[in-house]
Structure 1
Amino acid sequence: MPEVPVVGGADTPQDGPTDAPQAAHAMGEGGEFSRDMRYIATRITADGRDGYPVEPGRYRLVVSRACPWANRAIIVRRLLGLEDALSMAVAGPTHDERSWTFDLDPGGRDPVLGIERLQEAFFARFPGYDRGITVPAIVDVPTGQVVTNEFDQLTIDLSTQWVAHHRPDAPQLYPEHLREQIDEVNRVVFRDVNNGVYQAGFAASQAAYERAYHRLFDRLDWLAGRLRTQRYLVGDTITEADVRLFTTLVRFDAVYHGHFKCNRSRLTEMPVLWAYARDLFQTPGFGDTIDFDHIKRHYYEVHRDINPTGIVPVGPDPAGWLTRHGREALGGRPFGDGTPPGPPPPGEVVPAGHGAILDLPGRDERTRRP
């Protein structure tokens, strides 16, 4: 097997995503959930330093709308207007121990890559690959080989390396003068919130669960305090930090509150965070990427160790996401000097009945969900 360029290492505490089949994971000391954080570190850059230069049409972003880590990439790609430069494959919401599958596509094959399972792209580059077959991943279309699945760097590179292919007036999601602040917020939000819900949900001891539970809600209280007087997490515009927090908040009541036992409060019972999340949801590029049906099916059907029956809850009613939030009173400019993205391409519209009804600026009758 060729050597895999990796981020992280097996000897470090593992705090990564848990939506990956075939991922190496174990219980750490005291029953804390841990995960192998060794991701493929190859980057797609403007100068092609790793052998993969930015080229429009060459690569395919593979996602699942169920996965919060992939949802980040979907949102960033939408906001930056990279749809024509970087095509997107959407895997189904469930998977087995081998891989995410393209069961949403005719014949169960991705129409561009021609594969049934994402695993095939990983094996094409690294035969016998034994780590997590995770989304988001970017695949080199000419060779059919995976390039990277390093979710943390992937969205940053979309902002900083794909600039030549951003739409006119795309927002600055990772502005240079705010990067230190964004990175610091992202660090604590990942540790305590994005990954914190998983630390609670997959804890193997009462003590480990309670530690994760208290870290999570202490951080949510801290975030509420920060957002009480400012519309966005860093600066007065939407940044990478908001994207990363949003994908956890939008799943909170549907999944994490019950399924992962993060039940001190529902999101709807935390007024500041609930208003903040609704503000983002109602912003073009955010709510129009959310598929509540896929989200619930993934967690409740796949995590049989937590939900042995595989029964998927009917609620909660998503209509609340469209109620007034009042966050405009805090000022801020969602897209800074840029503009909102237009409607999603017809082939990327979330199916009717899977999300909330959206009637946002820039949407037309073809893309409104009944």
Structure 2
Amino acid sequence: MVLVLHSTEGSSRYSRCPALKPIPNPYIKSTLIMFETICDINRINYADPIYYTKAFLDNPYVKANDLAKHIHFYNKELGGLRYSFFINLKGTIREITEVQKEQFFDGVVRSGPFETSSACYNFLDNCELVRHTKDGGGDKTDWIFFDSLRQPKKYQVERSINNTRFSQSVILFNHALEYEEINELSFHDNSLKHQALNSQRTTKYILRAGDIRKTHNRNDRDEQSKSIITYNEAFQILTAKAYSQKDKSVLLYEAEFFYNADNVLNNIVYTRHMPSRFYAGNFRQELNFEYDANGRLNRFNDGFQIKTWEYDEKGNPVYIEESGINNNIGFETGNSYSYDDQGNWIFKKTNKFRFQDYRKVLLSNAEINRQIEYF
């Protein structure tokens, strides 16, 4: 049986509907955990399940930058950020600078030195990010938020290669948080490109207390569809449904998000009602979230693969494992840290492995050194 949750203030009530048996599909088994689901409604399962957890949404840096909105509304990470960067930041930080050295293997040591990159993050005293700079071996990009990352009206992207300015883009947003205009100036040929209302013009948002909803119209190779996603006031997703634009009464697929009494996400149920290029109709997939005694996500199961986390006393992951449901280990990541007096890590070492032919193969190792300046 499938449990369908209807949330009301101070209470929860459940209704039941018949379960749909999954149809085996080799394509699904080969997909990577968290990056593809049978119900990919405009990338709502974006990047990492930790983004759905209460601990992530309650972090002061996440709240200051309203990252849940950006993950789900923009469907990509603005400013070249991985939002997991914000999860465990502590104190009131003015600036973070990072230098990362990484080497890749794949069974044998690759030729050449470590690949080195650096990044810098600048914050206001309310924890809001206003600038992010990333330099990957001479290819440098600088993102500047003139208003805020939370409610952007304008931000600028400057790119340089080997200290020579290459391009500058200015992106303007409208009141609905859509890209209104994009102006790109290329310095190498002095050309100016202007784009008004990019592909997000088909997306409409309703943002008001108690009713946060996104409607997105899209055309892709498989089908034309219209998706409607609803959120609560904390930008946690409640439901997501995709309808055929050819016949708006036809529900193609849907996702339902189930929370406990403390508003912590327990599971997501995806159901595809109509066939597509890769999936048969009436296919059901369930994603389950489990937490440790401190409320940290420590197990994620999508029915095909399992991901687990172990944490240190500061709340940072020290061991991450990805495996199939038959318990064969696929990938393994180990982290170690050094901390400053505020409890933020200032050194991190990471080793990543995969398992092939019953042996453990080193994929990469990396070291990150941080300098943190506080207000």
TM over 0.5: no
TM-score, normalised to structure 1, is 0.30
- Which has a greater percent of helix? 1
User: For the pair shown, which has the larger CA radius of gyration, 1 or 2?
Assistant: 2
Q: Which has the higher contact order (CA 8 A, sep 6+)?
A: 1
- Choose between structure 1 and 2: higher strand proportion: 2
